Amino acid sequence: MSGTTGASGEPEVEVRRSRRRRRTVAARREGEKILVLVPAAMTAEQEAVWVPRMVARVMRAEERRRTPSTDADLEARARWLSDRYLGGLAQPASVRWVENQTSRWGSCTPGEGTIRLSGRLRSMPRWVVDYVLVHELAHLLEPGHDERFWGWVEHYPLTAKAQGYLLGWSAASEMDPPAGEPDPADDPSQAAGPPRRPDPAG
């Protein structure tokens, strides 16, 4: 037994009752709709309480995973990440998406306070984009890739996981991952010399 609801501007919701489900309520996205699974014995009053609650939970989870789509969203996310992981010390003048950046995931010009992220990141999980943002924000504090720089970056707890994701993506796409040396645009004096460690973010 199931029912479907929906209104303009709201997601389509299907409520499906199951005799095998005794007490728990669950919800998940199925294509364009949200499926809510409820016990067959649940009353209409209980359903009216639980269905909106579970739909809201799914939508909040989707929002947390969504990659910022506009430059304004990206800059707001960068400032939030700076506050959370860098003590609010990294304050960029601008953060924007660029489509002509194909050899690295992100770049930063500390003297101008500008950060640019490759449009290729738009299709990747938000926690990966967050890593690249933290990486570039850290360049506002430490232009090079020395231990002080990595000390800032590693405040972000998913650093190693995101680095692995980016390296795997590059391998699957048969692309050379960006080299570990600093971006000459960041600080020309830091452009030479061997990298201290692999640097998938570029």
pLDDT tens per residue, range 118-145? 999 988 888 999 999 999 999 999 999 9
Cβ atoms of residues 177 and 170 within 8 Å: yes
Encode pLDDT of 26-77 as tens digits. Answer: 888 887 888 999 998 889 999 999 999 888 887 777 666 667 778 999 999 9
- H-assigned helices in 120-185: 126-139, 147-153, 159-172
Distance CA 202, CA 193 (A): 15
Encode pLDDT of 46-58 as tens digits. Answer: 999 999 988 888 7
Residue 46, number of CB atoms within 10 A of its CB? 13
Distance CA 1, CA 165 (A): 42
Smallest CA-to-CA distance from 170 within 178, 162, 179 is with 178
Confidence band for 6, pLDDT divided at 50, 70 and 90: low
Smallest CA-to-CA distance from 15 within 36, 31, 32 is with 36
- DSSP per residue over 35-90, as a string? EEEEETT--HHHHHHHHHHHHHHHHHHHHHHPPP-SHHHHHHHHHHHHHHHSTT--
**CB under 8 Å to 70, separation ≥6 — which residues?**
none
Smallest CA-to-CA distance from 115 within 135, 132, 92 is with 92
H or E element in which residue 24 lies: none
Distance CA 73, CA 41 (A): 44
**The pTM is what?**
0.62
